[in-house]
Structure 1
Amino acid sequence: MEPIKKWLSENPTLYNVFKYILLVAFVLILIQLIRRFLRKQVTDTSLRYKSQKGIEIIGYIVLILLSLSYFTGSIKDFTLAIGLFTAGIAFTLQELILSIAGSLYIFIVKVYKPGDRIEINGIKGDVIDVDSIYTTMMEIGQWVSSDNYSGRIVKLSNAFVFKGPIYNYSQDFPFIWDEFNLPIKYGSDMELAKSIVIKIASETLSEYTTNSKSQWKEVVNKYYIEDAMVDPTLAITLTDNWIQFNLRYIVDYKKRRFTKHSLNDKIHAEVEKSKGKVVLASTTLELIKIPELKVNIKRNTKNEI
């Protein structure tokens, strides 16, 4: 121990740096212990999450205050050591530093928050946690059709907020536009078909349409964006095989699959009630001409022995 004490007394700068690192490590370990205690003791999910985040933020504030107070008055002694230390950290921990900067950017600018549905770096899901380094999401899609959970929890570096676009399904305007096509057979009662589709869409989507109108006005006032049609709209296209109805409508971003199912089911039921006046089309093949085939059959009348 004596040689170590002597070496530390001869190198006060390194001793102070080592002492500072121990203090930082102690604070970080204390934060984790308190978070673990809260995780076990607090039963309410929302309160547990907020309390853990609060402890984490308080811990970082303590670290900042500790650093300022530790270096105050002795900054001259640490100029070279801190300079070299900072340069080494910046070079070796670029991604970590960028992730921490990304977390500050997420919280300050409010890019997204827990509960939002986002798509970032090609990954789509619901945000379930945002910490100082990672964003944690419950993944949707991939091998699962539509907007259903795949069951995988994805951790994504916060640095990605600086590297590409972020698609937020729920911020400011928690609705999305969706559409689907209906093939109507030629010869069907077009006016009846249009009235069936529009009536069912208006009745099924009335709540979404009403709620979205007021929120869309706020979006128009906040951003430089033109007004848009939120009521269900129907567009008709003539194709080689059928008359294509394209229904476009607005829906809650979490209920897209169920709403599409409900619309299809109700429209199909009404079409069946029309007793043939409206018929859903299917792919058909029409044979224009069958080529003539000439077959010559020769019979052998000789008896072979």
Structure 2
Amino acid sequence: MQPDSTATSGDLLSPVVDAVHGVLPFSRAVIEHLVLTALVVLVLWAVRLAVLKGVDRRVEDVRVRYQWRKTTQYVAVVLGAILMLNVWLAELGSLATFFGLLGAGLAIALKDPLLNIAAWVFILWRRPVAPGDRVSIRGLTGDVIDQRLFAFTLLEVGTRTGAGQSTGRIIHVPNGWVFGDAVTNHTGAFAYVWHEIPVVVTFESDWRAAKALLLEIAAEKVGQLS
């Protein structure tokens, strides 16, 4: 015969539950749920921290580290939500009915947030934008510096002068915009931003010599880009 895992875990947590029960004015069942919830959060936090420390020791690429941090955060949140639902809703006879009614209400009341979440999944899957990319959407242009569940963050760059210098402003763009608007990625296929520098050459000047001089300066300063 195998030991009852529920009884075993309950026996292990009994001292903690008894101690907390003497402090908080809640029933013993609620205290058990609270203790299990805290245990889930603590374990997930410790596992994520250990994984990130291992990644930091082995990976030097900042982008890869960022992706690991985001991925482990999302995985921890999803696992935590599933485990907490299992703890707090174990007494429900039919979770399907509960989630069906809850989902119908949320779909109506939270249309825009749900659209942003769906767009977030699309962004992670298709990657129309990624941290470090310079993108334009709805007349806004900037460098992507963060991605979150409901929005991605741009460090705005100025476009009026054509120089593309940072304005210092932070723009939070709802993820749902990628479904209804065209997204221009300036650096997705090429690591540099194209910029034209006008050079005035008079009719009396030797344009061939000017061209050779400019190419020589460009090769000296930036090297071969293509």
TM bracket, shorter-chain basis: 0.5 to 0.7
| Pairwise CA distance, 1:116 | 1.1
Q: Point out where structure 2 has 5 or more consecutive residues left out of the alignment.
A: 1-29
Q: Check conservation: 1:96, 1:133, Cα contact below 8 A.
A: yes
Q: Check conservation: 1:142, 1:150, Cα contact below 8 A.
A: no
1:210 and 2:221 aligned: no
Q: Check conservation: 1:126, 1:138, Cα contact below 8 A.
A: yes
Evaluate the alpha carbon distance shift between residue 105 and residue 177 of structure 1 in structure 2; reply closer, same or farther with a 3 A threshold: same
Report the more deviating stretch, 130-139 or 175-184: 175-184
Higher RCO, 1 vs 2 (CA within 8 Å, ≥6 residues apart): 1
Q: Distance in 2 between matches of 1:131 and 1:151?
A: 20
Percent sequence identity is 25
Tell me the amino acid that sits aligned with residue 204 of structure 1. Answer: I
TM-score (norm 2): 0.61
Evaluate the alpha carbon distance shift between residue 160 and residue 67 of structure 1 in structure 2; reply closer, same or farther with a 3 A threshold: farther
Aligned residues: 179
Q: Secondary structure at the match of 1:205?
A: helix
Aligned equivalent of 1:86: 103
| Pairwise CA distance, 1:140 | 0.6
| Pairwise CA distance, 1:155 | 0.8
| Pairwise CA distance, 1:202 | 1.4
The higher radius of gyration belongs to 1
Report the more deviating stretch, 83-92 or 149-158: 83-92
| Pairwise CA distance, 1:124 | 0.6
| Pairwise CA distance, 1:109 | 1.1
Q: Stretches of 4+ moved more than 6 A in 1?
A: 42-45, 70-76
Q: Distance in 1 between matches of 2:92 and 2:213?
A: 73
Q: How does 1:1-305 map to 2 (within 5 A)?
A: 30=41, 46=62, 49=66, 52-63=69-80, 65-66=82-83, 77-141=94-158, 146-186=163-203, 188-189=204-205, 192=206, 194-206=207-219, 210-212=224-226
| Pairwise CA distance, 1:198 | 1.1
| Pairwise CA distance, 1:184 | 4.4
**Deviation string, structure 1 residues 82-135 (Cα, Å, up to 9, x no partner):** 322211101111111111111111111121211111112211111110011110
**Deviation string, structure 1 residues 23-54 (Cα, Å, up to 9, x no partner):** 9xx68xx59xx6xxx8xxx9999498556424
TM-score (norm 1): 0.47
